Amino acid sequence: MEAMRIAVTGSTGLIGSALVRSLRADGHEVLRLVRRSPRSGDEVEWDPVRQYVDARGLSGCEAVVHLAGAGIGDRRWTEAYKKEIRDSRLLGTAAIAEAVASLGEQPRVFVSGSAVGFYGDTGDRAVDENAPPGDGFLPSLCVEWEEAAAAAEEAGVRTVFARTGLVVSRKGGAWGRLFPIFQAGLGGRLGSGRQYWSFIALHDHVAALRHLIDTESLEGPVNLTAPEPVTNREVTAAMGRVLHRPTPFPVPALALRLALGDLAEDVLGSQRVVPARLLESGFTFAFPTIDESIRAT
């Protein structure tokens, strides 16, 4: 594909930084949205709290990828931090969507981050993009998060919601916290271990985002998860196999609730999410299994 001009928010995060590297390696021009005065020609200023975007800086962009937002698993969930998580997503998404809609020459696609938290606790039931939202903080957040992109959709810009699963990487995110624990031989299942985790290797996540940009038939929600979700018990066994470490220490549900606050309910909950639309559109996973995803880090 010919080189494109692409704007990315959240470019310093785990996924955003990997996406920027991948795009630039293939010769694309990448603009990074930053929350300060630009220091170089590849930076565009924005302020999600004030809902300000220097829309002139987006001129000529063929794609805008919005990944910014406070980390879901970065801190214990207090009411104050849940508000920060919500505001960072809703205000930022609305600001970017409105900037995209305001452009005289609009981008071909707006890819906006979302999460498989949309589906809530699905138990053993596999769900795809046709499933309704679940109950609780994360499902209601994801519904509002996607609705915040309305300005871009109403302006006729192809809008895709990247509903992301647990990204497998040593470099950051929730999984990045697991690696040192398992490397030290202190890993173990969480709670009962029967809950499903919908994961995706960082490499495949970046490739999937690029697939969303390039595939004109895709719009609306698309699950970015590996084809076969696994239980936490299976994740624990895989981490032990790949890292050659014992996994003797299960973490009781009560301890998780004390350590994580309301976030514990999502860690202990089960999400068996499958990437139906991604597979139907011809995407091929490089690391489809949990063992391959762990080794790929």
Q: Is the pLDDT of residue 267 over 70?
A: no
Q: Is the pLDDT of residue 259 over 60?
A: no
pLDDT tens digits along 76-135: 778 888 899 999 999 999 999 999 999 999 999 999 999 999 999 999 999 999 999 999
Q: What is the arithmetic mean of pLDDT over 180-190?
A: 88
Residue 190: partners with Cβ closer than 8 Å, 6 or more residues away: 232, 250, 251, 256, 267, 268
Which domains occur in the chain, in start order? 5-295 (3.40.50.720)
Q: What is the mean pLDDT of the chain?
A: 93
Asked if 165 and 214 touch (Cβ cutoff 8 Å), the reply is no
In this prediction, residue 279 carries a pLDDT of 98
pLDDT tens digits along 45-82: 999 999 999 999 999 999 999 999 988 776 777 888 88
Asked if 141 and 117 touch (Cβ cutoff 8 Å), the reply is yes
pLDDT tens digits along 17-45: 999 999 999 999 999 999 999 999 999 99
**Which residue in the block uniquely carries the two structure tokens 């995407």?**
283
Q: Is the pLDDT of residue 185 over 70?
A: yes
pLDDT tens digits along 131-162: 999 999 999 999 999 999 999 999 999 999 99
Q: CA angle, 57 as apex, 54 and 62 as ends, to 5°?
A: 125
pTM reported for the whole predicted model: 0.95
Residue 143: partners with Cβ closer than 8 Å, 6 or more residues away: 118, 133
